[in-house]
Amino acid sequence: MRIIRHISSVPEDLKGGAVAVGNFDGIHRGHQALISGCRALADDVRGPALALTFEPHPRRVFQADAPPFRLTPFRSKARLLAGLGIDCLVSLRFDLGVSEQSAENFIHDTLVRGLGARHVIVGYDFVFGHRRAGNAALLQEFGAQHDFGVSVLDPVTHDDDVCSSTIIRVDLETGRCRRAAELLGHWWEIEGRVRDGEKRGRQLGFPTANLHLATSALRPALGVYAIRFGLEEAAGTRWYPGVANLGQRPTFDGKGIILESHLFDFDGDIYGRHGRVAFVEHLRPERKFDGIEAIKAQIALDCGQARAVLAEPSNAADRF
């Protein structure tokens, strides 16, 4: 999958296809249906399938002081879209200047002139342009004028729940990561570079791989989780079962939120490597302990519980 950052940089071989437009935060089941539709439409018009989005997320521009909320930072988003068969991710910069562009000019400058779109597909609640004046009806009106088709995807539900980034965020913030995964259609992840820490886990007999959360990444419920830890290898990502603590380490007066993952039956040096942590189940809240022995005893219990959770068929790595 190719990635393009400027509309003026789109080559001719990526024009004349189908374009899915949206924020795509989470790449949940609704987004997946949209991308699947885009892929089918691209095949119909014998052109490329493109996903058009903006970085940073518009919410970050309009609500700069809001708490972190991103479900999928750009790297994760790109990987998931590539796996869905998108030929190109067009990721345009969003700022206050862009936000003042009229809906009509966005259609003309980006969809028609920039991408030469033959078909555009959007979600049922899609709005765009200055003051969110554009919607699916306007797209359809301009599509008739500029000879491109428009498809509007109805809400996608799973077990009567609408697959929505907003709902998924609430699930993760309240520790319901398994329900979030059901709506996502994949385990939710945090990823980043494994950093050298204070080695307290090793001193306790439970060495950890430490990841610091990206400043824009959602903060799920703090506490202990059953997880799978992914390491990129030559043949692809290899997953290791484990247990993780996401929090501030109150027993040691820690500062800042760190994700500390202990991998079961693993002995290797992974400092500096890129790691992915898939959240399977929230086991308990983070809490302060009276001493080292109490911590070690609790970690042993956490490990046993996490092993049991990860052994359940409903929590299999390839469930989705």
Q: How far apart are CA 130 and CA 5, in angstroms?
A: 21
Average pLDDT over residues 243-249: 88
Q: Is 274 exposed, middle or buried (0-12, 13-18, 19+ CB in 10 A)?
A: middle
At 206 the pLDDT is 78
Q: What are phi and psi of 242, to 5 degrees?
A: -175, -175
Using the predicted structure, report yes or no on whether residue 197 has a pLDDT greater than 80.
Answer: no
- In percent, the amount of the chain with pLDDT more than 70 equals 95
pTM for the model stands at: 0.92
At 235 the pLDDT is 81
Cβ atoms within 10 Å of 40's Cβ, excluding its own: 15
Average pLDDT over residues 158-186: 95
pLDDT tens, 283-295? 999 988 877 888 8
pLDDT tens, 105-150? 999 999 999 999 999 999 999 999 999 999 999 999 999 999 999 9
Q: How confident is the model at residue 251 (pLDDT cuts 50, 70, 90)?
A: low
Out of 238-242, 270-274, 302-306, which region has the weakest mean confidence (pLDDT)? 270-274
Average pLDDT over residues 247-253: 66
Q: How far apart are CA 292 and CA 209, in angstroms?
A: 20
Using the predicted structure, report yes or no on whether residue 199 has a pLDDT greater than 60.
Answer: no
At 257 the pLDDT is 85
- Complete domains list, the chain, with CATH: 2-158 (3.40.50.620), 188-315 (2.40.30.30)
At 129 the pLDDT is 95
Contact 229, 240 (CB under 8 A): yes
Using the predicted structure, report yes or no on whether residue 252 has a pLDDT greater than 90.
Answer: no
pLDDT tens, 307-320? 999 999 999 998 88
Using the predicted structure, report yes or no on whether residue 30 has a pLDDT greater than 90.
Answer: yes
